[in-house]
């Protein structure tokens, strides 16, 4: 029997090249593993901590759905659904809350960061904290445990959430008997840091990103604006720079070696940027076309998500039934 992997996708911003290389592409590649069954969900409940506008939530949900489909997510091979359309998630969230200690929640990185920020500003430690953020790890545990997930692909900075889900599952199983699969994180150690326009890590917080599906003209303009040094075209150049860092993510092994050789003997930044645009656009252009198609025909996406919601609910109902029986909430609970 295949193990299950689950991936949550927060609709909290326009996807950029760093998101594609660091999260989207590896997650979709995982779906090609014949020994793993994958589920992908749009984490719109989780997004409520960041998005306060109805219109923005709707638009960003569309954005992330179209993006992942355009990048190759196959809803026939995986379960692709919206978190908010599976009500069992919130019921399980409450059941898990009753076996979760406040001490565990106090250790969550996001909570501690806001407490430290508020304290540093001279305010009440919890002034910036709402209960959605405080209970965020429990909702994430519900997302994971509801679908019998063994693997949760995450970046190293998200490892704690899986650890907390594991602790919650163990606490529930210890109190009520084995009910939930105990999950473990799946960290792709091959994912490299992706440099942005200014040479720092590509991040929306640095305003140095390259939108994944901007048009060719804008893509070329952004790449032309990548920060470089003032070396002459004939000067040797270090490959430890934003241009080469991005180039090697999209080019073939032969192309990477050829570019490294050119860097060693001297290449103009203009030529290097032109080559970078070429390899990026080569991979992105077909996906951009699909993305625009889905954006202009969103009814197709809605139908795909509706089917995924139904498939997800079938799994969720069985797990929640098992959990309710373990606790004694159902009349036919085993005693």
Residue 179 lies in a domain: yes
Instruction: Name every residue whose Cβ is closer than 8 Å to that of residue 42 and which is 6 or more positions away in sequence.
Output: 9, 11, 61, 64, 65, 81, 82, 83, 305
Q: State whether 35 and 164 are in the same domain.
A: yes
Amino acid 226: pLDDT: 95
Count the neighbouring beta carbons within 10 Å of the beta carbon of residue 121.
Answer: 10
Amino acid 16: pLDDT: 95
Residue 63 lies in a domain: yes
Q: State whether 32 and 150 are in the same domain.
A: yes
Enclosing domain of residue 317: 3-192+298-327
Residue 207 lies in a domain: no
pLDDT for 61-100, tens place per residue?
999 999 999 999 999 999 999 999 999 999 999 999 999 9
Residue 208 lies in a domain: no
Q: How far apart are CA 226 and CA 222, in angstroms?
A: 7
Q: State whether 48 and 116 are in the same domain.
A: yes
Q: State whether 229 and 323 are in the same domain.
A: no
Q: State whether 78 and 95 are in the same domain.
A: yes
Predicted confidence band of residue 255 (pLDDT cuts 50, 70, 90):
very high
CATH of the domain at 76: 3.40.50.620
Residue 197 lies in a domain: no
Q: State whether 39 and 91 are in the same domain.
A: yes
- Residue 288 predicted with pLDDT over 90: yes
Q: State whether 69 and 177 are in the same domain.
A: yes
Q: State whether 148 and 224 are in the same domain.
A: no
> What is the SS3 string spanning 142-155?
HHHHCCCCCEEECC
Residue 199 lies in a domain: no
Q: State whether 187 and 233 are in the same domain.
A: no
Residue 115 lies in a domain: yes
- Residue 126 predicted with pLDDT over 60: yes
Q: Please, is 281 exposed, middle or buried when counting C-beta atoms within 10 Å of its C-beta (0-12, 13-18, 19+)?
A: middle
Number of domains in the chain: 2
- C-alpha radius of gyration, the chain, whole number: 22
CATH of the domain at 238: 1.10.240.10
Q: How far apart are CA 264 and CA 255, in angstroms?
A: 14
More confident residue, 87 or 334: 87
Q: State whether 30 and 88 are in the same domain.
A: yes
Q: State whether 106 and 7 are in the same domain.
A: yes
Q: Are 235 and 242 in contact (CB under 8 A)?
A: no
Q: State whether 273 and 304 are in the same domain.
A: no
Q: How far apart are CA 251 and CA 237, in angstroms?
A: 18
Residue 217 lies in a domain: yes
Q: How far is CA 100 from the centre of its chain?
A: 25
């Amino acid at each position: 029997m295949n193990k299950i992997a689950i991936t949550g996708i927060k609709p909290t911003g326009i996807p950029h090249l760093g998101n594609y290389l660091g999260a989207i592409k590896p997650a979709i590649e995982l779906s090609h593993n014949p020994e793993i069954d994958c589920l992908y969900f749009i984490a719109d409940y989780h997004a409520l901590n960041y998005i306060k506008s109805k219109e923005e939530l709707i638009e960003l949900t569309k954005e992330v759905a179209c993006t992942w489909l355009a990048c190759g997510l196959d809803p026939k091979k995986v379960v692709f659904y919206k978190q908010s359309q599976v009500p069992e998630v919130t019921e399980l969230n409450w059941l898990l809350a009753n076996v979760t200690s406040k001490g565990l929640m106090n250790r969550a990185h996001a909570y501690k960061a806001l407490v430290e920020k508020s304290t540093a500003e001279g305010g009440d430690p919890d002034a910036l904290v709402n209960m959605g953020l405080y209970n965020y790890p429990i909702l994430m545990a519900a997302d994971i445990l509801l679908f019998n997930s063994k693997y949760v692909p995450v970046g190293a900075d998200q490892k704690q959430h899986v650890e907390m889900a594991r602790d919650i599952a163990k606490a529930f199983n210890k109190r009520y008997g084995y009910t939930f699969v105990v999950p473990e994180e799946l960290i792709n150690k091959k994912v490299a840091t992706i440099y942005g326009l200014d040479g720092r890590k590509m991040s929306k917080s640095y305003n140095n990103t390259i939108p994944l599906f901007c048009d060719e003209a804008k893509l070329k303009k952004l790449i032309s604006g990548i920060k470089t040094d003032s070396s002459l075209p004939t000067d040797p150049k270090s490959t430890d720079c934003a241009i080469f860092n991005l180039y090697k993510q999209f080019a073939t092994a032969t192309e990477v070696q050829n570019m490294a050789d050119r860097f060693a003997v001297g290449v103009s930044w203009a030529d290097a940027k032109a080559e970078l645009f070429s390899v990026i656009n080569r991979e992105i252009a077909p996906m951009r076309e699909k993305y625009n198609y889905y954006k202009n025909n969103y009814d197709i996406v809605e139908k795909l998500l509706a089917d995924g919601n139904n498939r997800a609910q079938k799994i969720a109902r069985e797990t929640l039934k098992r959990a309710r029986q373990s606790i004694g909430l159902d009349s036919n609970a085993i005693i």
